[in-house]
Amino acid sequence: MRKLYCARILFAALVWALVWSTVAASQSLDEAKVFEWWDSGVIDGDEAREILDLIEEGNLQEACMLAEVYALESCVTEKQLEKQHRNASAKKKLRKESTRTEDTHTSKEKVTRAQKKDARPSVIPHGHIEWRGRTDSLGHLESERTELRLDFYRYSLRLGTQSLLTYRNAGSEAHLGQISTKELHSNIPLDTLWGTAAFYPIWKFRLGALLDTAKTTRASLGFVYDKGTELELAYWRHQHTGTSDSSEPYGTERHSISAAAKGNWGNVAAWWIPENGHDIPLIKIQLHYREKTDLATVAWKADAYLHGDSLPREAHLSSTIASSRFWGSQTLAVTAADSWRSKFGVNARTIIPLRSDSSKTRMKASAATGPAILRSEASATCLQAEERCRQNDLALKIRSTWDIESGEQLAFNGKIRARHTRGKGFAPPLYEAGATYALDSFNSAGVAVAIPKGSPARELQVRSSTEVGTDFLQLSLAVTFRRTAETPLHPLHAAFFARFIF
């Protein structure tokens, strides 16, 4: 009883300290969100590390896809948040310009000139220095990534974990150094290749070529429709150097063909190795649909990977995807157009291992309702649908958000989650309570205290995250502390990020 009382005092002190903090929370996918899922048992350690590695590499789109499959939670990337901020800022600026004059045509010309002026490349060198790192439970550095980026006119130079020189001008681009997914505009993640790549637009076509030091070559042809639909066909030639795979003699050549289509409906990519005969090619599918009516908004999304026993050498897939014949998820959400924004959603994921015909399916149904000042969400997750939902996770979340001043918010949240096994009843529930304080969209602080095994005497977790952003400096820290009956309070895992902008 005394230990429980001490835990309550600790939580009250942390919340009180947080209220006097001067930073705010972000709703995007980051290390803090992954730690929350990991600490709560929603995902395991291997799944968490796969997502964290992609975040560290800067491939947030793929990290978001993994998060939605593993955690069955909706995901927002930093890129999507920045787009929302840019759109809001552009609309605000346009409204200001429109109110300054009664001549609408003159106002549009002013905005157009401002946009053209902003589009001109700067001749003043600018950029940033960035460092990311993660530690394990012993405080050892588990992984790190360092980058120096320098932008000058139409050139950009990156040094550190990835060394790359890039030139861009009027749709054409050239890269020299460590080339990977972003540089080749690939929907399927790629390994890092040392070499050079270039793209050149001709009317609606885009020609591309790659040559790396291991004599890997790639030639591509892309086509862009007026409505944003893009098509691309690429040919890969890989020559084995005899340094990594002793089963293939020196000089062995492999050939593959990849194709991709992208539009407002999503994207589809396929990668086929002719030498493998009738083996299933590597296929990635991402589809989405959204319709808004007077009564509700309906959104649907599907992500999937499909492949056979052989994978292209240059593909860089997570271990779970590489070992699965089929790997994918579907999400359906209906949001009412009322003042409470009531929402109902269904998420499902299916994984079929390569060496097995049996599938592993997990499904989740959730419902949320209420105003921002008191919003609640309930969910039920069937952990093993192939076993007729023998185990289920039941969760209830409550969140209260208060607007303090312009742009500032204070939010409190609570959660309880319990696992029910048919014939055995409920396991010890997980309790969690936390708070966040928002100064603006780029400054945040949050703290949460969790009791994952029903009693603080058995285990207690304290999870905190902080983000600080200015015009020249960005810092973030996410760390989880754990205390058990056998061990004192100690850091379980942590992630650090620092960026200096000049």
Residues 441, 85 contacting (CB under 8 angstroms):
yes
Residues 435, 411 contacting (CB under 8 angstroms):
yes
Q: What pLDDT does residue 170 have?
A: 87
In the chain, count H helices and then E strands.
Answer: 7, 25
Task: Give the strand pairing for 282-292 and 126-135.
Answer: unpaired
* Domain boundaries defined on the chain: 2-146+383-501
Instruction: For residue range 426-455, list pLDDT tens digits in order.
Output: 999 999 999 999 898 789 999 999 999 999
Record the pTM.
0.83
DSSP reduced 3-state for 353: strand
Among residues 372, 303, 301, which one has the least CA distance to residue 339? Answer: 372
CA distance 443 to 437: 9
CA distance 269 to 262: 9
Q: What angle do CA 196, 156, 501 make, to 5 degrees?
A: 145
Among residues 392, 324, 420, which one has the least CA distance to residue 72? Answer: 392
Instruction: For residue range 88-102, list pLDDT tens digits in order.
Output: 444 444 344 433 433
Q: What pLDDT does residue 54 have?
A: 92
Ranges assigned E (strand) in 102-192:
126-135, 141-152, 155-160, 164-169, 172-179
* Distant-in-sequence, close-in-space partners of 226: CB < 8 Å, separation ≥ 6: none
Q: What pLDDT does residue 407 have?
A: 78
DSSP reduced 3-state for 67: helix
DSSP reduced 3-state for 304: strand
Among residues 448, 408, 373, which one has the least CA distance to residue 22? Answer: 408
Q: What pLDDT does residue 310 have?
A: 87
Residues 390, 402 contacting (CB under 8 angstroms):
no
Q: What pLDDT does residue 24 have?
A: 31
Point out the residues of the chain with pLDDT beneath 70.
1-27, 77-119, 240-251, 277-278
Among residues 354, 306, 301, which one has the least CA distance to residue 329? Answer: 301
Q: What pLDDT does residue 197 have?
A: 97
